Amino acid sequence: MIQACNISKYFGKYQALNDVSFEIKKGEIVGFLGQNGAGKTTLMRILTTYFLATSGEVHIGGANVANNSLLVRKKIGYLPETPPLYSNISVKEYLKFSAELKDVPRKQHTVQIDRVLEECDLFSVQKRPIAQLSKGYQQRVGIAQAIIHDPEILILDEPTNGLDPIQVLQVRKLIKNFENQRTVILSTHILSEIEQVAHRVLIIKAGEIIVDDSLAHILEEGSLEQFFLKQHGVENYE
C-alpha cells in the first residue's frame, strides 16, 4: 500500500530526513513517534504530496508520489495538526465544500456527507456553525473532511492535540473503528494513544527510522513509554 524507499529531505543545508525506508500494508494502523523536530511532519507531508523528497521514492497504491500527485491525493485523507476548518459555516456546508474540493461526484454528495456524519457521530451538530463546536467536535469534523472522498489511506497528525480526556477517548474510538477498513498513519506525542490503537510502531530520531516493529513485540518487554525513552538514551526517568 505504502512504500518509502531511501527518502531524504533537505531544507537548504538542514537535513530533515536521512535515507528513510519502510513499507505499510493495507489495513494497518501505524503509529509514528518522535520528539519535536525528529522529522515526523516532514515525512507525512512527503507522503501526502505537499513536499517533494530531495532523493528517494514513495509509492502509494503503486503510484509514484512525485509523478502522480493528483492520483495519490485521491487515495489519501489527511488531517494536519491544525484542521483546515472554516468556522463561519455549518458542519454540513463545510463537508459539502470539502466534497467539491476533493472531486466527489455531485450525485454522490448526499450519500458521502451522510456517511461521514454517521461515521464521525456528527449528525446532531450538522447544522451548527463550526465556531460553536467544542474542540473535540471540531477534530471530528476535521477527520470527516479527510474521509469525505472515501480514501484508502488516512494520515493523522496529532489528532487529539488539545482535547480533554473525554474528547481524546472519543477520537481514539473513531480511529480504532477504521481498523481493517483503511490504512492509518497516526503521528502523536501521546504514547498511550499508540498503545490504544496501533498495530505497529515507527520511531523517528534525528530524521532516521530507528525502530520499525509490531506493538505487540515491543510491549513484551514492558510499556511503550519505557521502550521509547530507552531508544532516546533515557534509562532512569522516575
pLDDT recorded at residue 131: 94
CATH of the domain at 62: 3.40.50.300
Question: Considering the domain boundaries, does residue 12 fall inside one?
Answer: yes
Q: Report if residue 92 sits inside a domain.
A: no
Q: Does some domain include residue 188?
A: yes
Domain of 197? Answer: 2-81+153-231
Determine the pLDDT at residue 182: 87
| In 26-127, beta strands by DSSP E | 29-33, 55-60, 63-64, 76-79
- pLDDT computed for residue 6 by the predictor: 96
- pLDDT score at 170: 83
Per-residue confidence (pLDDT) for residue 238, from 0 to 100 = 52
* pLDDT for res 235: 63
Give the C-alpha separation, 104 to 149, whole Å.
Answer: 6
Total domains in the fold of the chain: 1
- Does residue 96 lie in a domain region? no
Mean pLDDT for each consecutive 10-residue tract of the chain (238 residues)?
A: 94 95 92 88 90 94 88 90 88 95 93 93 94 90 92 90 83 82 87 88 93 91 83 66
Q: How many residues does the chain have?
A: 238
